[in-house]
Amino acid sequence: MELAADNLTCIRGGRNVFTGLSFSVQSGRALIVTGRNGAGKSSLLRAIAGLLRLADGELSLTGAADDLTLPEQCHYVGHQDACKPALTAAENLSFWSGYLGGRGNAAKALSAVGLGALADLPAAFLSAGQKRRLSLARLVAVKRPVWLLDEPNTALDTAAQKDLAGIVNAHLQSGGIVVAAAHGPLGFARAKTLRLGK
C-alpha cells in the first residue's frame, strides 16, 4: 500500500499555502509533517481526508480497497475532539464507531487509551487530555489503513503520549500508514519527516 501526493497546491484565503508538494508513504511507515505555524500542516491533512479542496495536484492510495475513496480509508483526528458533553465516554465512542462503520469493542478501545475506568462518566467531566484520549480511541475502535493525526500529543501527559506511540507503532507494524503534523517528537517508529515552508 502507498499513499502518494503529486504536485499539490493549496490556496486558502487567496494565499498560496504550499505549491508543488510531492511525497509518498508506504505501508508500515509514518510521515511526520513539520513547519512553522501557518505552513500548511493542517491543510495538508485536511486535504488528504477530503475536507479541503486542493487548487492543483493529485492524491492517491494504491494497494488498498479499490471500491473506497481515499477519505473513506482514512481516520482524521484534528484539533477538535468532537465529544458530546452530555454523553458518557462509552456513548461518545459508540456513536463515532457506528458513524464510521465500525463494529469494534468500545470497552477495549477505551482501555487502550487509559479511559476504561471512566467509560460511564459524561464527557463534560473529562479533562482536556482525557477528551483527547477519547478522540484517539476511535483509531482503535474502527480499523482504517491511513491515520491522519493533527498534533496528536496536544494536552496529553507523558504516560498518554507513550500509550499513543504504542498504538501508532502497532498500527504501523500491521502495515498501516500514518501522516502526523507535529511541532516536536512523537516517538513513532519507521518515520520520516516532511518540512513545509522555509
Model pLDDT for residues 160-177, shown as the tens digit of each residue: 999 999 999 999 999 999
pTM recorded for the entire structure: 0.95
Q: Within 10 Å of residue 29's Cβ, how many Cβ atoms? A: 21
Per residue in 29-39, pLDDT (tens digit) is 999 999 999 99
Whole-number pLDDT of residue 174:
97
Percent of the chain predicted with pLDDT > 70:
99
Q: What is the spatial distance between Cα 37 and Cα 197, in angstroms, rounded to a whole number? A: 9
| C-alpha cell recorded at residue 123 | 464527557
The three-class DSSP label of residue 196 is coil
| CATH architecture of residue range(s) 2-195 | 3-Layer(aba) Sandwich (3.40)
Per residue in 103-126, pLDDT (tens digit) is 767 889 999 999 999 999 999 999
Taking each helix axis from N to C end, the angle separating 89-99 and 128-141, rounded to the nearest 10 degrees, works out to 40
Q: What is the spatial distance between Cα 92 and Cα 194, in angstroms, rounded to a whole number? A: 33
Domain ranges of the chain: 2-195
